[in-house]
Amino acid sequence: MLDITLHALSRFPEQLEAYFAAIPIELRHWAPDSWEGVPSEPFTAIEQICHVRDIEVDGYQVRLRRTLEEDDPLLLSLDGEALARQRDYAGADPVAVLADFRQARRQTLALIEALVAEQFMRPARFQGYGALTLRSLVHYLCSHDQQHLAGLQWLLGKMAALAAAPFH
């Protein structure tokens, strides 16, 4: 596995916490009038961190294990908006969410770091992505992390624009 990818995966919980902490407490549930241009799913700051936690556990951990244990499995995409409603992301405790995510990421990294070279070549098919290998999944997980950092930065940009907008 590429060291740069493993390094990015290991640093992500700290980055996620820092980006989330940059969001003013009173704006953690704020949504812009338009989500046009958002680089992640259209989620508020609290919803972003809940989504990352749930995709780690119910998405990527399951996908990684299935790819290791099954022959060419079909890995399903998850409906993030449905999860947000079902699991009441808006009512979540961010301290608990971030702690749960840190623990889940430690588990994910332990699984990845225990793999041998040939396991990274195990094939699967991922709904919406097509054919891939376990190595591909690790890269997609890292990409997903980056999308959500970008989503939080985008929200910060929208908040800054809102704060600077003249009163009408």
Q: Tens of pLDDT along 90-146?
A: 999 999 999 999 999 999 999 999 999 999 999 999 999 999 999 999 999 999 999
In the prediction, which pLDDT does 165 show? 73
Residue 131's DSSP bridge partners are 125
The secondary structure of residue 127, as a DSSP letter, is T
In the prediction, which pLDDT does 147 show? 97
What is each CA distance from 94 to 26, 50, 63, 74, 160, in whole angstroms?
13, 8, 25, 32, 22
Determine the residue type at 56.
E
Angle in degrees, 0-180, between the axes of helices 94-113 and 3-21, rounded to the nearest 10: 180
In the prediction, which pLDDT does 127 show? 95
Domain borders along the chain are 3-30+39-158
Alpha-carbon distance of 58 to 67, in angstroms, equals: 14
In the prediction, which pLDDT does 1 show? 62
Query: CA angle, corner 98, sides to 119 and 128, nearest 5?
Result: 45
In the prediction, which pLDDT does 21 show? 98
Query: Residue 46's pLDDT band (boundaries 50, 70, 90)?
Result: very high
Helix (H) or strand (E) holding 131: strand 130-133
Q: What is the overall mean pLDDT for the chain?
A: 96
Q: Say which CATH architecture domain 3-30+39-158 belongs to.
A: Up-down Bundle (1.20)
